[in-house]
Amino acid sequence: MKHLRKLGAYLFLLLIGYVFLFPLLFMIMSSFKPEQVIFADLYSIRAILPVGDLTLDNYRQVFEKSDVLLYFRNSILITSATVILGLFVNSLLAFTLSRMRWSGRKYILAAVVALMIIPIEAIVVPLLLLVSKLPTIGWEQGGFVLMGSWLNSLEVQILPFVANSFFIFLFYQFFRDIPKDFDEAAELDGATPFQIYRHIIVPMSGPVFATVAILHFLLMWNQYIWPIMAVQGEDARPVMPGIQIFFGRQTSWGEIMAYASFVTLPVLAVFLAFQKKFVSSLAGAGIKG
Amino acid sequence: MADVKLTKVVKRYGDVETIHGIDLDIKDGEFVVFVGPSGCGKSTLLRMVAGLEEITEGELHIDNECVTSVAASRRGVAMVFQSYALYPHMTVRENMGFGLKMAKTDKDEIKRRVDESAKILQLEPLLDRKPKALSGGQRQRVAIGRTIVRNPKVFLFDEPLSNLDAELRVKMRVEIAKLHSQLKNTMIYVTHDQVEAMTMADKIVVLRGGNIEQVGSPIELYLNPVNEFVAGFIGSPRMNFFECDVISQTSSSLRLRLPCSTEVELDADVSASPGMSKVKLGIRPEHLQEDHQGKVKIGVDVDVVEHLGGATYIYARYAGDNELIVQAGGLSPVRRGHHCDISFDLDQCHLFDCNGLSLRAAQPIPLQTEVSVQELVLG
C-alpha cells in the first residue's frame, strides 16, 4: 500500500514535470527538425525527443535572415549594464533606508513599497513622453553638446530600469536583519557610511545580491513592450522584440523555434550556473522577510 | 591612557529621558564597572561614552579634552560588543586590522600591530581563520584583540561575557583582569552580573532608572550600601530584608521589634530621622548562621535546600511569610521541611529607613580591604 502510494506520487510528479517541460523540450527539439518532421511528430512523443532527421539548417536561416547577433549583443549590453548599475543603486538606497537615521526615511520607504504595486504597463506612455523630450549628451568639437532624444538608443532601455522598488525592498529586508553591531564596530573603527556599505554590508549580503542579479537579469532579458515602443530602428533593438520582426518575415516554424532557443540559451545558462545559489537565496530571502 | 569625566550627562529619546544628569569621574587606568538591572541605562551610558549615542545634554571629557560632539572613531575609544561583532567574511587578521586599514595605516605597520596584539592574547594560530571557525571564547579574545590593535585611550566592554558558558565566563573574567593589569588602560565595563562587577572592578557604579545610586569600591558597596537597592543588588544571594517596628529611638540607637517579636537594640545614626515607626533590617545570607553562635536567634521553616558542595543555600520562611535565604556550610544537615534556629550578630545588620536610605553600615571598612581584584587575583 505504501509502495503504491509512493508510485502514485511519482507518476503525478512526472505528469506535472512533463506539463512544465513540454514547451521547452518541444522548442529545442523542433529547432533541429525540418518543417515536415515537426508536423509529422506533433502528436507523438517524438515531438520532444531528438529523433529523426536532425539538422542545423534552421539556425543557419536565423543568422541569414535576421540580425540576431546584433540583437543579442544589444540585449547583453542592456541587461548587464542595468543589472550592474541596479545592484549598486538599489542596494545603496536600501542601505540608507535600513541602516541610517535621517528625516523623511519612513516616507521614502513607504513610497518604495507603494511603487511596487504599479506595473510598468501603467507608466509606459508618460515614460515614453518623458524620454522623447530628454536629450542625450554627446561629445563634439572638444566639448559636451546636447543631441537628439533618448529614443532608439541603448540608454533608453537601461536607465529607466536601473532603480526598481521591488529589488530595493528585497535588499532592505535583508539588510534590516543584519545586526547593527557590525555597523557600530566599523564606525568605531573609523569607517564612513559608504565604507561600512562597501566593506561590511555588501560582502555579508551575497545571497540577496545573487537573487536580485538573477531576477533583474530575467526582467531585462525578457523586456518586450518597452523596446517595441522606444526603439524603432535595428541598431538598438534587443532580442525579444527581434523575434516579432523575424516572425513577420518569410519564416518556418523550425526557424522560429531556433531563434527562440537561441535567445533562451543565456537565461538557461545563467539559471543552471547559479541554480543552487538562486534557490537557496530565494529561500533565505523568504526566511529573512 | 586617560581620565574620563561625565558632567551632567542627559539622554533623551524624544520626550523620554533615560539618563538623568549623570556626573562621574573615572581616573586614568581605573577599571570601572557599570552595573544595574535591565533598563537602568548602563549600556546607553557606555554607548554615549563610545559616541554611538548622541549626548543630549552635558559634557564628556576624555583625557581632558571635550569630546561631546566628536565622532566615535576620533574619541580614542575601542569597544567590545556583547555579540563580538566580528566581521564574518574577514579572517581574524583582517578583523583585527580593519580599523588601521580604515585609518590608511601602512600595511607593514598593520601587520606588526596585529601580530603584537595576537601575541598578547595568544591568537597567533588563529590569525588566518574566519570567525565561524572559532569557539565562543576565541571569538571573544579576537574581539578584545581588535580593540587592543587600535591602542585606544579607553577600552569599553558591553556585557562581553554574557554569551559564554559559566566556566568560560570565569576564565575570560580572569583574562580581562590580567589584560588590565598588563595594559593599565582605563576600562569601562558594563554588566548586569554583580559577581562580574564585584570580582573585576576597581570601582563599581550602580545604576537604576538612569541615575547613579552609588559609586565605590566593591568592598565599600558590599559593606556600606547607601540604600536598600544597592544593598539588595550587591551580594549573591541577595540580602534579606525584614520590616521591624521601632519601639524607641535615641540619636545614636534604635530599639526594634523583629517580626518574630524579639526585641533588639542597634547603634545607628538616626539623629536626622526622628520619630520613625518602621525600619527595614537587612542581613546578608552569609551572615546568618545555622549554629547558635550569633547573639540573636530566630526560628525558620525550611522550604528548599540547595547543596552546591562548597556551600548550602537554605530558602526558608520566618515569622509567617517573611522569606529569607541562609548561606550555610557545604555539609549542612538541614533538610526541606525542617524547622530550625538561625542566629546572627547585630554588627552584621544594615538598617534602612522608610525611603530605603541606609541608617548604618554593617561594620567599619578597614583600609586593608580596599584592594582591587587584580591585586587579589594576580598578587
Q: Which residues of B touch A (CB under 8 A)?
A: 50-52, 72-74, 77-79, 81-83, 85, 87-89, 98-99, 102-103, 146, 150
Question: Do residues B161 and B354 make contact, with C-beta atoms less than 8 angstroms apart?
Answer: no
Whole-angstrom distance, CA of residue B236 vs CA of residue A90: 53
B99 CB neighbours in chain A (<8 A) are: 188-190
Q: If you average pLDDT over every residue of chain B, what do you get?
A: 89
**What does the DSSP 8-state code read for residue A199?**
I
In chain B, what residues touch A189 (CB-CB under 8 Å)? 73, 98-99, 102, 146, 150
Residue intervals in chain B for CATH 2.40.50.100: 231-361
- The radius of gyration of chain B from alpha carbons, rounded to an integer in Å, stands at 24
pLDDT at A281: 57
Q: What are phi and psi of B243, to 5 degrees?
A: -80, 130
Cβ separation A182–B87 shorter than 8 A:
yes
Residues of chain B with pLDDT under 70: 1, 362-379
DSSP state for residue B239 in the 8-state scheme: P
Residue B277 · residue B318 · CB < 8 Å: no
User: What pLDDT, on a 0 to 100 scale, did the predictor assign at position B203?
Assistant: 95
- Please report the beta strands in chain A, taking only residues with DSSP state E, as ranges in sequence order: 136-140, 143-147
In this predicted structure, the answer to whether residue A282 has a pLDDT above a threshold of 70 is: no
Q: Looking at chain B, which residues constitute the CATH 3.40.50.300 domain(s)?
A: 4-230
CA angle B245, B247, B253 (to 5 degrees): 105
pLDDT tens, residue by residue, B148-161: 998 899 999 999 98
Is B289 in contact with B297 (CB distance < 8 Å)? no
B73: nearest CB among A182, A190, A200: A190
Q: What are phi and psi of B32, to 5 degrees?
A: -110, 135
Query: C-alpha angle with apex B273: B270 to B278, nearest 5 degrees?
Result: 90
Beta carbons of A274 and A48 less than 8 angstroms apart = no
Confidence band of A283 (pLDDT split at 50, 70, 90): low
A215: left (phi over 0), alpha (psi -120 to 50) or beta: alpha
Q: Is the pLDDT of residue A143 over 90?
A: no
- Mean pLDDT, chain A, as a whole number? 88
Quick check: bond before B237 cis, omega within 30?
yes
Q: What angle do CA B164, B167, B173 make, to 5 degrees?
A: 70
pLDDT at A271: 78
Is A188 at the interface with chain B, CB within 8 A? yes
The strand pairing partners of A138, in sequence order, are A145
Buried b (16+ CB within 10 A) or exposed e, B157-170: bbbbbeebeeebbe
Query: What is the distance between the alpha carbons of residues B147 and B151, in angstroms, rounded to a whole number?
Result: 7
Report pLDDT for B376: 44
In which residue are the cell numbers 518602621 written?
Answer: B278
Domain positions in chain A:
67-240+270-288
Return the CATH superfamily for domain A67-240+270-288: MetI-like (1.10.3720.10)
| Residue A287 CA from chain centroid, whole number | 23
- Architecture of the B4-230 domain: 3-Layer(aba) Sandwich (3.40)
Spatial separation of the C-alpha atoms in residues B234 and B221, rounded to whole Å: 7
Query: What CA dihedral angle connects A206, A209, A212 and A213, to 10 degrees?
Result: -110
Assigned C-alpha cell, B328: 550555610
Flag if B73 and A195 touch (Cβ within 8 Å).
no
pLDDT tens by residue, B297-327: 888 999 999 999 889 999 999 888 889 999 9
**What is the CATH code for B231-361?**
2.40.50.100
DSSP state of A134: P
Q: What is the pLDDT of residues B89-120, one digit of tens each?
A: 999 999 999 999 999 999 999 999 999 999 98
Report H helices in B184-309.
194-200, 218-223, 228-233
Question: What percentage of chain A exceeds 90 in pLDDT?
Answer: 55
Among residues of chain A, what percentage have pLDDT more than 70?
A: 96
- Which residue has cell 551575497? A206
Cβ A204–B89 below 8 Å, yes or no? yes
Q: What phi and psi, each to the nearest 5 degrees, are found at residue A26?
A: -60, -45
Q: pLDDT value at position B212?
A: 96
Helix axes of A165-176 and A206-221: crossing angle, nearest 10 degrees = 170
Per-residue pLDDT tens over the stretch A31-57: 999 988 888 888 888 888 888 888 999
